[in-house]
Amino acid sequence: MSCYVTLRGSHCEHPADSVPVGPPVSEEPVQITVVLRRKETVCDEWCVAHLSREQFAKTQGADPADIEAVKSFAANYKFDIAGVDAAARLVTISGPLGEMARAFGADVEMRQLGKQILRTRQGALHAPSTLAERIIAVLGFDQRPVAATNHKFQSRAKDTKYFTPPELAKIYNFPGNTGKNQTIAIIELGGGYNPSDLETYWNQLGLNPVSVTSASVGGAQNRPEGDPNSADGEVALDIEVAGGLAPEAHIAVYFAPNTDQGFLAAINAAIYDRIHKPSVISISWGAAESEWTPQAMNAFNAAFHDAALLGISVCAAAGDNGSSDGEQDGHNHVDFPASSPWVLACGGTRLVARNGNRQSETVWNDGTNGGATGGGVSAHFSKPKYQSAVHVPKPAGTVNGTGRGVPDVAAVADPETGYAVIVDGQEGVVGGTSAVAPLWAAFIALCNEQLGKNLGWLHPKLYGTVTHHQAFHDITSGNNGTYRAGSGWDPCTGLGTPNGQSILQQLKNTQSK
């Protein structure tokens, strides 16, 4: 039998603000997700061509030998194989927690975190050396919440300033089509929506009812909590912004548990959904890179690469806590999954407009208590080729290289100039970069409809032809803490906010060449 080795990037600590409450129940049945390496590379790291699902499964799925190695490992411990998804390179193993922990060398405890009692782990995971080289990640031992959304809800009053989606479509010069035959996937890790709220909202905007369905992943459901300041506010915001801007698109909402295992399962459910076939995915949940294990980020990043290969765009909020991303260690941090180089990272601005026209737009920064757009430099992902022509600052402590710069793009996020929503029967205004991800997702859906094909991974085009033709509103004033806005790309608002028709025209020009 092979000697055991540490699974690279699997080390973690129990949550710092948790306390032990005892050992877990050894006989508790659990399902562990094993994420395997890709069968083949794709010409080079940044070469990407849209593949059919059949082509993808054949060339980019798991090597059958790797799947058999996991099955053999499971059989040695008398574990069951609960599922195999060769295309997504996932094998799910089920068995008693105690035996599973021993098999992977997992140090697991029950801990109290706030009002919740959860299973978490510390230290590294282990596997036989012949298996470890095939594995990207092992997920499922840890139940801690991995992501948060920091939307800020305030009730609508007579003097409250806000924008509706149609108003923003005019201000940002979006094309006038409706997203017909497109599906926008939305990932949610809690809360729910009330169909009656959506019906009222569409009616207020003068729209026909937008098609919205929900999907359950890992047992999570569309389950409203009845509080607009809960995750309900995020769910309603995402649906209402996306649907309000692309009213004939179908909105598919994937509810999953807020764990690294659940989050990844929701993303994969959207990517590989053969029924709804999303062309774009919107994610408004995230956390500082330092809160994730490297193995989890690598597993998610591989899934986002899958989306790119399948012609699916992924948008994610850049965070609402400035250049620190809410960490208290005095260092700069960026939010993940926005920091993935395969994801369109969406930052935030403060927008002043009148009669559908932009008057001014600056970096969103309301101070420590009010929130600010996330942005900065990844400590995990290296600087991608598409950012070679822009200046990305060097992360602290490095001598030569630099990291992936965040965000890529922006739109209004300041709660003081926020988005009109209806949540749990209450009319309100919500801000945060959580609103920017569905806004950009809707814009991409509109472009897809106009172009007659999916844009998919559009970073090279945005940083290339589109930027060179000044199709963005360049935000040059303000800061998010450490970083200041300036001409061109910056770590506050990226390339800027959209001039939708201009971006679309440049994409059309690129397509015709």
State pLDDT tens for residues 291-330: 999 999 999 999 999 999 999 999 999 999 999 999 999 9
> For residues 458 and 423, what is the distance between their CA atoms, to the nearest angstrom?
32
Classified as helix, coil or strand, 413 is: coil
User: Exactly one of 66, 188, 197, 234 is catalytic; which is it?
Assistant: 234
Write down the domain spans for the chain.
Answer: 4-139, 152-512
Q: Check 284, 434, 449, 490 and give the catalytic one.
A: 434
Number of Cβ within a 10 Å radius of residue 164: 19
Residues in contact with 293: Cβ distance below 8 Å, sequence separation at least 6, in sequence order: 9, 10, 11, 12, 137, 260
> Which amino acid appears at position 280 of this protein?
V
Q: Which of 188, 238, 291, 490 is catalytic?
A: 238
332 is written with which tokens? 């700069």
> If phi over 0 gives left and psi between -120 and 50 gives alpha, with beta otherwise, what is residue 467?
alpha
Interatomic CA distance for residues 66 and 43, integer angstroms:
22
Model pTM score: 0.96
The pLDDT value given to residue 510: 82
> In the structure encoding, which two tokens stand for residue 173, read together?
């010069």
Q: Is 238 a catalytic residue?
A: yes
The CB-side HSE value for 249 (13 A sphere, CA atoms) comes to 35
Domain 152-512 listed as CATH 3.40.50.200: yes
Please confirm, yes or no, whether 234 is among the known catalytic residues: yes
Tens-place pLDDT, residues 184-243: 999 999 999 999 999 999 999 999 999 999 999 999 999 999 999 999 999 999 999 999
pLDDT at 76: 96
Ranges of the chain whose pLDDT falls below 50: 1, 43-44
CA atoms of 277 and 178, how far apart (whole Å)? 18
Token pair for residue 467? 């930027």
Active-site residue flag, 260: no
Cα distances from 220 to residues 191, 260, 266, in angstroms, run 10, 14, 10
